[in-house]
Amino acid sequence: AIAVEEFRNSLLAQKLAAELLKGVSVSQEEAAAAYEEFKDNFTTPFQWRVREIVVKTEEEAQAVLVELNQGASFADVARQKSVSPSASKGGDLGLMALENFEFEKMAQSVFILEPGQTSNYFKGPAGYYVVKVESKTGGEIQPYEKVKAAIEEELLAQKQQEVILKHLEKLETEIPNQINEKLLGISEETAETPQK
């Protein structure tokens, strides 16, 4: 019986929600205005093409930096000195987004480098790392047509949430008032009933 009652209440809630949200929609003008206002949020994600050199000791890392500063090819040094699986590819990790980097310090180091720049060495899970950013892509604002559907979906969800919240707030004020009125009515009746 409890399960049947819960199911019935669930159906009633769904029906009420459907009724409340029936007229809620997003116009083309609203979507276009939101795009213009938050245009900077609709950028393509950044990706970095990165090479790494991983060595076991700090002394080796210092020696690697000296070699690189003297003009040695990063790819060649990676092939000769790196203990990383990427060594055979000249340290090439391919194109990666920030969340794909092995650990946070590597992501932080890559983030502050411009294409062509090499980091200082830093400690990581496999030893001491030196990274070089070969290229960086992304950051362009996506055209409206590409993000229009996502904007409309987000705006619709916001509007629907507002309608439901307003309805709940209305219920919160009405129900206590109704209860108070009933209680007042009962107490008045009680007061009018003559005492035996």
For the chain, percent of residues with pLDDT exceeding 90: 62
Rounded CA separation 154/117 (Å): 39
pLDDT at position 181 is 62
pLDDT at position 178 is 62
pLDDT at position 182 is 61
Summarised one tens digit per residue, pLDDT across range 95-135 is 999 899 989 999 999 999 999 999 999 999 999 999 999 99
pLDDT at position 16 is 77
Contact partners, residue 68, CB within 8 Å, separation at least 6? 74, 77, 118, 130
> Between 95 and 1, where is the model more confident?
95
Question: Is the separation of the CB atoms in 112 and 131 below 8 Å?
Answer: no
Rounded CA separation 81/74 (Å): 10
Summarised one tens digit per residue, pLDDT across range 55-90 is 999 999 999 999 999 999 999 999 999 999 999 999
Question: Is the separation of the CB atoms in 74 and 68 below 8 Å?
Answer: yes
pTM: 0.59
Kindly report the backbone phi and psi dihedral angles of residue 141, in degrees, each rounded to the nearest multiple of 5, phi listed first.
Answer: -75, 130
Residue 180 has pLDDT above 60, yes or no: no
Rounded CA separation 179/172 (Å): 11
Question: Is the separation of the CB atoms in 158 and 34 below 8 Å?
Answer: no
Contact partners, residue 85, CB within 8 Å, separation at least 6? none
Question: Is the separation of the CB atoms in 136 and 48 below 8 Å?
Answer: yes
Longest Cα–Cα distance of the chain, Å, equals 109
Quote the mean pLDDT of the chain: 87
pLDDT at position 192 is 52
Q: pLDDT band at residue 185, thresholds of 50, 70 and 90?
A: low
pLDDT at position 194 is 52
Return the half-sphere exposure (C-beta side, CA atoms, 13 A cut-off) of residue 55.
19
Question: Is the separation of the CB atoms in 134 and 49 below 8 Å?
Answer: yes
Written as six digits, the tokens of 185 are 């009515």
- Reduced to 3 states (helix: H, G, I; strand: E, B; else coil), residue 122 is strand
Radius of gyration of the chain (CA): 32
Q: pLDDT band at residue 20, thresholds of 50, 70 and 90?
A: confident
